[in-house]
Amino acid sequence: MKDWQIAEAAEETLRPASGILRELGIQDCEWDAYGRYLAKVDVTKVLRRLGGGDATKAPKRAKYIDVTAITPTALGEGKTTTTLGLVEGLGLLGKKVIGCVRQPSGGPTFNIKGSAAGGGLAQVVPLTSLSLGLTGDIDAITNANNLAMVALNSRMQHERNHDDAWLSERGLKRLDIDPERIQFRWAMDFCAQGLRSIEIGRGGRLDGFNCQSGFYITVASEVMAILAMSADLKDLRERLSKIIVAYSKSGAPVTTHDLEVDGAMCALLVNAIKPTLMQSIEGQPVFVHAGPFANIAIGQNSVVADRLACALGDYVVTESGFASDMGYEKFWNIKCRCSGLKPDAVVLVATVRALKAHGGAPAVKAGLPLDPAYTTENLELLEKGCDNLLAHIDIIRRSGVQPVVCLNAFYTDTQAERDLVRKMAERAGATFAVSDHWLKGGEGARELAEAVIAACDRPNDFAFLCDLAEPLKDRIEKQVKEVYGGDGVDFEPEALTKLEMYQADPETARLPICIAKTQYSLSHDPKLLGRPKGWRMPVKDILVYRGAGLLVPVAGEIKLMPGTSASPAFRRIDVDVETGKVHGLF
């Protein structure tokens, strides 16, 4: 059976959301139903009650576990599947466990990777709801982002067409926006390479302001990062007002507050700040919130979802996007700094397939059959590729945590291959477990769950990579050298100019670093596989996300709007017009 068929069969035995919420101790006044199986939870109400009126004093009772991975192939290595398998495995062992995962983006769902629901018997259900918009969070983020762009372009048009007296009569002050220094873009939740760079406002005086513009995928929007990082609705509202959309001709930042659009943006996000309750195939609660793409975004499940889960469960399994150099690094140095939570254990997902790719096997290409090197035993390729595994073990150890390496089992793995990966992981000081959750669900993840429970009981020395008082340039260099394994950073002139400007502003100079780079290599170059040495990272631009509280160096040729492939998933998705059921999602 295919993943969507397994999910469809599982939906016949779904538990009503109301029953799961009662088991978690969430009261009826603290959630809103979205049909029978989905619910939006008001985190602030729950945490205030648990904290005796102060949400910040709600107790953290759960062991907190992050799931990350080695550098993936184009097919992904089952990080979400492993997250769900671990949730099911801990549930099988009688633990009160809650999963926290990110909402799938329409870009991957209709493109190469498909939905981020997990797979096999380790999935979030109902699959169709999860994959096709869920409870509207990403649509709300898209609309809020684009409302800011509407406000910006309209203001520029009116300032061009009218004098100060006309503006003053309407309660407006001239912002004198520099069309060459627009920082914000439009958003769309699809992979649309044709919209990366566009010209808008063509026509006459009433057709908007004519200028260069473009789109990024919604999950790369600063609004998505704000949703992921906000502590509550009040914090969300404050962060939205700080978004820098452009600069004036005198160099002053122009914000959403200056455009008087921040309140309306927040109105679009009132429900989006609330996580959505779903469930695993085996009935464990799962909070779905915020979005993916840790290569070009924060790529984390939300702070509010993790805080809520940690106050309600005994074990919480959260997920970070892509590999540990991307998702875990941002979890470690950005999300944990913001949330105040620290991990009790970190799971590092690996596959024999990805390790062989890093060892020099022919490239894995979506939509094409795997080379025989991936389906037959080849210990030489595998051992060479384990250099990538060892690099990711070192990254997690650099944070002060000893990882649990999980080999996500494929039926083509041989025992000798599994034994080799175990030997390499344990030699590096990591705990190791094989997990067959795709095929067997929670029972297949028993070994992994037991290893994670043991890891949670061991103390760790979790600490941030940098002090935010260190100079920006030093912090970027340190991340490239100590996390990615590079020799240093080369700033292009535009990036260096911005770096100096940001360093001169005391508030901006203390923002955490959120590097955007390829997910397919520890470096900026997707062709450099394994554990590359002797390279330097080129930074061509640095974006400031004042609302989210991030500085985003853009490295290499990474794009904030991905492209759609020649063989996208939408070719295989359709609807049974007799039943209305969607099929073909994966």
Residues forming the active site = 79, 81, 102, 113, 294, 322, 410, 438
Token readout for 321 is 């996007």
Cβ atoms of residues 406 and 350 within 8 Å: yes
Buried b (16+ CB within 10 A) or exposed e, 308-328: bbbbbbebbbbbbbbbbbbbb
Token pair for 233: 């609705």
Residues 47, 226, 191, 392, CA torsion sign: negative
Give the DSSP per-residue string, 40-80: EE-HHHHHHHHTTT-GGG----SEEEEEEESS--TT---HH
Q: Which two tokens stand for residue 90?
A: 């801990």
Q: Which residue has the tokens 């993840």?
A: 445
Instruction: Check if the beta carbon of residue 381 is closer than 8 Å to that of residue 356.
Output: yes
**How far apart are the C-alpha atoms of 547 and 402, rounded to whole Å?**
33
Cis peptide before 126 (omega within 30 of 0): yes
Contact in structure between 143 and 268 (CB atoms under 8 Å) = yes
How far apart are the C-alpha atoms of 101 and 78, rounded to whole Å? 13
Amino acid at 581: K
Angstrom distance (rounded) from CA 24 to CA 7: 24
Neighbours of 164 (CB within 10 A): 11
Q: Is the dihedral of CA 136, 139, 145, 150 positive or negative?
A: negative
The DSSP result for 149-162, as a single string, is: HHHHHHHHHHHHHS
Report how far residue 86's alpha carbon sits from residue 84's, in angstroms, rounded to the nearest whole number: 5
DSSP assignment of 81-140: HHHHHHHHHHHHTT--EEEEEPPPPHHHHTSSS--SSEETTEEEE-HHHHHTTTTSHHHH
Give the DSSP letter of residue 487: S
Task: Please provide the size of the chain in residues.
Answer: 586
